[in-house]
Structure 1
Amino acid sequence: MTTNLELAREVGAHVVLRSITLRNAHIDSNLNPLHVPSDVAMTQGYRSSFSQHEEDGRKQLIVLTDFKFSAKVGAGDNSDAEGVEQSDEDLVALEATFQLIYSLPLELTVDEECYKHFAEINGPYNAWPYWRELVQSVTGRVGLAGITIPVFRPPKIEIQKQEKKIAKEKKTKATK
């Protein structure tokens, strides 16, 4: 069985990271910094997409990684502190998109699935320090000091590649 990390490595062994840029960012804050709740629940997520281009005699892989962060009044905060409304509304919501440009050898030919897994793993992995810094500085500026996003650990997922599946089906038919 093949993993997503192995498929991503098919591309990762050949890339050179050329740039990481912040494409857009948006923040909404409903936090009263003079009345920060004692219990704040935080969530975050990300997703990546990719496209390929050829420019200046190089193959380029463009990865866009979208991040989301939100902080709400936590379920354990039963205080009715002045200025803190008990609601499902975000205290802070932050969204950002980073663009990563990688160059590849023109002669490299790998399965499209490898590019997909590379984008899903390496896009967030390479942009993660920039995302962590953005969350920490923005949340501090709106009154939620000390927010540190944990280290990124890409999940290892087993993948059944299509050609292995077809070969297995042929072998099963031949033995019947």
Structure 2
Amino acid sequence: MAKRKITKTMSRTVPELDMAIEVSNAMDIRDITMIENRCKRFAVSNEKNSYEIFAVTEYEQQKDSNDLLVLVRFKFMAHNSKNENLALLEAVYLVFYASKAEKPFTDKHYTCFAEYCSVFHVWPYWREFVQRSIASLAMPPLTLPVYKFGSKLPKEQGLIQEKQIESKGISKK
């Protein structure tokens, strides 16, 4: 279905990763649950196709325990060479983290943790969902690449209201 070339992910800063790792050292995953999904096939194409994946995260820190809830929203869009939509897959995962921290981290720490660590934690579930859904939609087989820690997926306007859309990320073209 797609070419096997992966473009380099958006650049990252060491302080962001350091903040994510600092929070990660204080958290234990308690649960990962898919709470919503959607699959839609528009057409099938026999030519070389491409796809894009977007991710948006939201978090809520529990005041009484410092535990953390993170929502990870994924969107997969497959296109043909004319940039016509072939398929759309979306899924939302809720991740519950139990905190060992004595005091809460800053909002920036939690944002970095959600964007780097939570996406990394949920990726295997998303990857399996995409593979299974593509097969169920009777489309050519597809296996997403392994997600590399420290990568950051772009955000997409349809997932969150933002003025600027980051344009780099895991993309197969």
State the TM-score, normalized to the length of structure 2: 0.73
5 Å matches for 1:157-168? none
Displaced runs of 4+ in structure 1, greater than 3 A?
Answer: 154-157
Contact kept? 1:3, 1:156, Cα under 8 Å? no
Question: What is residue 83 of structure 1 aligned with on the other side?
Answer: none
Question: What is residue 52 of structure 1 aligned with on the other side?
Answer: 61
Question: What is residue 164 of structure 2 aligned with on the other side?
Answer: none
Quick check: which has more Rg, 1 or 2?
A: 1
What are the superposed Cα offsets for residues 11-44 of structure 1, whole Å, 9 maximum, x if unpaired? Answer: 1111110000001011111124xxx422111111
Q: Which runs of 5+ in 1 are unaligned?
A: 76-87, 158-176
Pair 1:116-2:111 in alignment: yes
Question: What is residue 138 of structure 2 aligned with on the other side?
Answer: 143
Pair 1:102-2:97 in alignment: yes
Alpha-carbon deviation of 1:156?
A: 6.5
Contact kept? 1:22, 1:98, Cα under 8 Å? yes
Alpha-carbon deviation of 1:106?
A: 5.8
Alpha-carbon deviation of 1:129?
A: 0.2
5 Å matches for 1:84-99? 88-99=83-94
Q: Distance in 1 between matches of 2:48 and 2:151?
A: 32
CA RMSD of aligned residues (A): 2.1
Contact kept? 2:26, 2:101, Cα under 8 Å? no
Q: Distance in 2 between matches of 1:38 and 1:2?
A: 40
Q: Distance in 1 between matches of 2:139 and 2:49?
A: 9
Q: Which runs of 5+ in 2 are unaligned?
A: 1-12, 153-173
Q: Distance in 1 between matches of 2:124 and 2:104?
A: 30
State the TM-score, normalized to the length of structure 1: 0.72
